[in-house]
Amino acid sequence: MKLGELVLLLSKDESYLVEVSEKDLHTKSGVILAKELKRSKYGDVVSTHLRKKFTVIKPNIKDLLERKVKRAPQIIMPKDAALILALTGVGPGNNVVDAGCGSGFLAIFLAYHVQPGKVFTYEVNPRFIRVAKNNIKLSGLKNIELKEKDITKGIDEKSVDLVTLDLKRPQDVVPHAYKALVPGGWLVVYSPNIEQVIAVRKIIREYEFCQLKTVENIVREWQFKRFSRPKTLGLMHTGWLTFARKIS
């Protein structure tokens, strides 16, 4: 392993996403010597001084987003990001415009799945821009362009396959999104309140869009201790996603 390389250490009941360094790694199950981790490769098993075994795994995009990406504003959650891919069919080679970037979570998620296509992500908040730049660098993805620009003033890109909006007044961007999209391309708007949904749907109807729908994506985990039942606590409602497809 190279110094500075991110690795996932995985066991049945513990996991750690760490950088390979010259320092020993302290876990709740003991210490993993730096020299042991450095000479390992993916798939190898390393042990703590208490003989707790961990498999060395190459982290994927899920590991990075869950454990390493820093959050500034509230992010679009993985369940909603995944639904955007599922309901639009966007994939490898497609180009995406995303706004507002925030921490860069959705931009990174989409960029991973559309490469070698590209994601152009817009943001105006200087604090969010700093966080997003660091997160994009951490992801290692080269197909993201962070644009320090107000997207309500216009979209530079043309013939894109998807426009995603997560900002206060998405209705102001709908005309720009319509111009930027290819025929058959998708507009997806994330809304934290129903008033925003109503406002953006009203504007969308003024343009040549079809397959307009708004969905709420609820994921419920079950517990299997003592009795099997849905967990009492969990992240249920997050927001609404409005989908629309450009006709021509």
The string of pLDDT tens digits covering residues 40-79 is 999 999 999 999 999 999 999 999 999 888 888 778 999 9
Q: Give me the pLDDT at residue 237, please.
A: 85
What is the distance between the alpha carbons of residues 173 and 151, in angstroms, rounded to a whole number? Answer: 7
pLDDT > 90? residue 173: yes
Q: How far is CA 61 from the centre of its chain?
A: 9
Could you count the other beta carbons within 10 Å of the beta carbon of residue 156? Answer: 13
- Note whether 5 and 19 are within 8 A (CB): yes
Structure-token pair, residue 86? 């599922």
Q: Give me the pLDDT at residue 1, please.
A: 86
Q: What confidence tier does 6 reach under pLDDT thresholds 50, 70, 90?
A: very high
CA 27-66-88 angle, 5° bins? 160
User: Which contacts qualify for 136-140: CB closer than 8 Å, 24 or more apart?
Assistant: 136/104, 136/107, 136/108, 138/64, 138/68, 138/69, 139/61, 139/64, 139/69, 139/104, 139/108, 139/111, 139/112
CA distances from 243 to 133, 162, 164, 167, 236 (A): 28, 10, 9, 15, 20
pLDDT > 90? residue 33: yes
pLDDT digits (tens, 9 = 90+) for 202-240: 999 999 999 999 999 998 889 998 899 998 876 778 999
Output the DSSP codes for 195-211: HHHHHHHHHHTTSSEEE
What is the distance between the alpha carbons of residues 105 and 228, in angstroms, rounded to a whole number? Answer: 33
What is the distance between the alpha carbons of residues 115 and 141, in angstroms, rounded to a whole number? Answer: 9
Domains and CATH numbers, the chain: 6-57 (3.10.330.20), 62-246 (3.40.50.150)
3-class SS of residue 107: helix
pLDDT digits (tens, 9 = 90+) for 147-160: 999 999 999 999 99
Q: What confidence tier does 185 reach under pLDDT thresholds 50, 70, 90?
A: very high
Compare 33 and 237 and report the one with higher pLDDT: 33
